[in-house]
Every structure is written in structure tokens, then in C-alpha cells.
């Protein structure tokens, strides 16, 4: 037993006196190499700042916008039925006045007057109309007529537009006109060369009928007629070819000699 113990002591001592073995080097974890993501003059950004940059408005980092395209022809429905006709709108203002036209041809010779006789008929009556509208172009403008309704003994001259008194006495006269939208209506009833009555209507967005009437004591040879009187505003009366809107009437009520 002692020999065994000595042998063990010798082995241990020889082992302790030997040079220590070199330690096995520990394997370090592999490091990832850095890759440059910016220019030489730029500083690397942190993760948070880099994320903020990508979410900024810089076109280099912003995500592309997706704009969906909708086919309108798919959503368009069938054509509906035509609705009811609406109310007519207000009449617009008349345009500017055009240039003065060329002078017309000379008219035909007027009708001859009634044949004179010793025993005069103590009657007189007329009713004439106008189918054409008229705008006053002069300060005073004579109003003529183109439609003869009643003209007893031809005392009213259609060519001149004047009633000539052949029978002295008391006469009744009336004038009816149709106004024009947004225009003034101003006319004079004339006895010879003097105005004796006025027919007037202010400009309005509606056209209306206006009338004037009076009685006159006429002597033989006197004349009664109508003229338009133009002031600063445009003066006009309205009529149509299909109807008569302007009427001038007159008749004898009581002759001077019965």
C-alpha cells in the first residue's frame, strides 16, 4: 500500500512541475460590417431620424400615391325623360340702334279728295290702324297708318296720316297704342300745328295698352293728326303684322250748321 501511495505522489508532483498548457482562445461573436448609406459629407442618421425622414415630404422618401381610376360610363345611368317646359324668362334689353338705311322710293300719288257739292253731308267718321311698330328717330315724328277700317267720304288721308275737317262742328277723337318693354311712350294729339293732348307711359318691364280721348271744336279746313315726341329716352310703340295694336278714331258729334 505504501508503494502505491508513493507512486501517486510522484505522478502528481511531475504533473505540477510541467509547463501549463496554453489556453484555447475563445471564439468571439462575428460583427456585421457597416455599409455606407450616405455621402462622404453626410452624417449617418439614427433609426428614429431615418424613419422620420422616410415619412417626410421629401420625394426621395415618400411613398407613391395611389389614385384609383373610376370609369364614369359604368356609373352613368340611362337618359331621363324631358321635363316640362319652364316659364319664359324676362325680355332682354334691346340692342344698339343700327345705322340709318337708304331712303325709300317715292310713294304713289295720294287719293283725290271728295267731290265738292252744294249740299254737304253732315257726317264724318274714320277709324284707322297701324300694324308696324315704330321707334322715334327724330325729335318730332309724324305717325302714319297702314290699315283703313272706316273712312267715311275719305275725310282721313291715309297718305299724310291726317284727318281733314270738311264739316265744321264738335268731334270726338280717341287714340289707342301698345307700349314697348323698357321704352318710353310719348305721343301728341295735334290740331293743326299745336298739341292739344298727350298720351304718355313710363318705361316698364311689361307692355300695356294706353289710350287718350278728347273732343274738339273744328272749323272747316282744320286738321287733326298724331306725332311722336322724343326726349332723352328712346320712344317707341309696338304692333304686329298679324294684328292691329295702334288705333286712331274720330267722328262728328254735332255739326256747326244743322
pLDDT digits (tens, 9 = 90+) for 134-144: 888 777 889 99
Q: Say what percent of the chain tops pLDDT 70.
A: 67
12, pLDDT greater than 70? no
Q: How far apart are the first and last CA of the chain?
A: 198
Asked if residue 25 is part of any domain, the answer here is no
Q: How far is CA 69 from CA 62, 65, 74, 75, 94, in A?
A: 21, 13, 12, 13, 49
Give me the pLDDT at residue 18, please.
47
117 falls within a domain: no
The domain of 183 spans 125-255
Number of domains present in the structure of the chain: 1
Task: Assess if residue 21 is contained within a domain.
Answer: no
The answer to whether residue 63 is domain-embedded is: no
Is residue 238, in this structure, part of any structural domain at all? Answer: yes
Among 33-37, 82-86, 134-138, 205-209, the least confident range: 33-37
Residue predicted with more confidence, 49 or 145: 145
169: domain CATH number is: 2.60.120.40
Please report whether residue 96 resides in a domain: no
Quick check: is 206 in a domain? yes
For residue 166, being part of any structural domain is answered with yes
Number of neighbours of residue 180 by Cβ within 10 angstroms: 23
167 CB contacts (<8 Å, ≥6 apart)? 120, 121, 122, 123, 124, 220, 252, 255, 256
Amino acid at each position: 500500500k505504501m508503494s502505491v501511495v508513493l507512486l501517486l505522489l510522484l505522478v502528481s508532483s511531475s504533473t505540477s512541475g510541467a509547463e501549463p498548457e496554453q489556453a484555447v482562445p475563445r471564439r468571439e461573436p462575428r460583427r456585421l460590417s457597416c455599409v455606407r448609406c450616405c455621402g462622404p459629407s453626410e452624417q449617418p442618421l439614427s433609426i428614429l431620424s431615418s424613419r422620420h425622414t422616410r415619412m417626410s415630404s421629401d420625394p426621395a422618401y415618400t411613398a407613391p400615391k395611389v389614385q384609383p381610376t373610376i370609369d364614369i360610363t359604368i356609373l352613368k345611368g340611362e337618359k331621363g325623360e324631358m321635363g316640362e317646359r319652364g316659364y319664359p324668362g324676362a325680355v332682354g334689353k334691346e340692342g344698339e340702334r343700327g345705322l340709318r338705311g337708304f331712303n325709300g322710293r317715292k310713294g304713289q300719288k295720294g287719293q283725290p279728295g271728295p267731290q265738292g257739292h252744294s249740299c254737304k253731308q253732315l257726317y264724318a267718321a274714320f277709324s284707322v290702324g297701324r300694324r308696324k311698330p315704330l321707334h322715334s328717330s327724330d325729335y318730332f315724328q309724324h305717325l302714319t297708318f297702314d290699315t283703313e277700317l272706316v273712312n267715311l267720304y275719305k275725310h282721313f288721308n291715309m297718305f299724310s296720316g291726317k284727318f281733314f275737317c270738311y264739316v265744321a262742328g264738335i268731334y270726338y277723337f280717341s287714340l289707342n297704342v301698345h307700349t314697348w318693354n323698357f321704352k318710353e311712350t310719348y305721343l301728341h294729339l295735334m290740331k293743326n300745328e299745336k298739341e292739344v293732348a298727350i298720351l304718355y307711359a313710363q318705361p316698364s318691364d311689361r307692355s300695356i295698352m294706353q289710350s287718350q280721348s278728347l273732343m274738339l271744336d273744328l272749323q272747316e279746313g282744320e286738321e287733326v293728326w298724331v306725332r311722336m315726341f322724343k326726349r332723352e329716352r328712346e320712344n317707341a310703340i309696338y304692333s304686329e303684322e298679324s294684328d292691329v295694336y295702334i288705333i286712331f278714331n274720330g267722328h262728328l258729334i254735332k255739326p256747326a250748321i244743322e
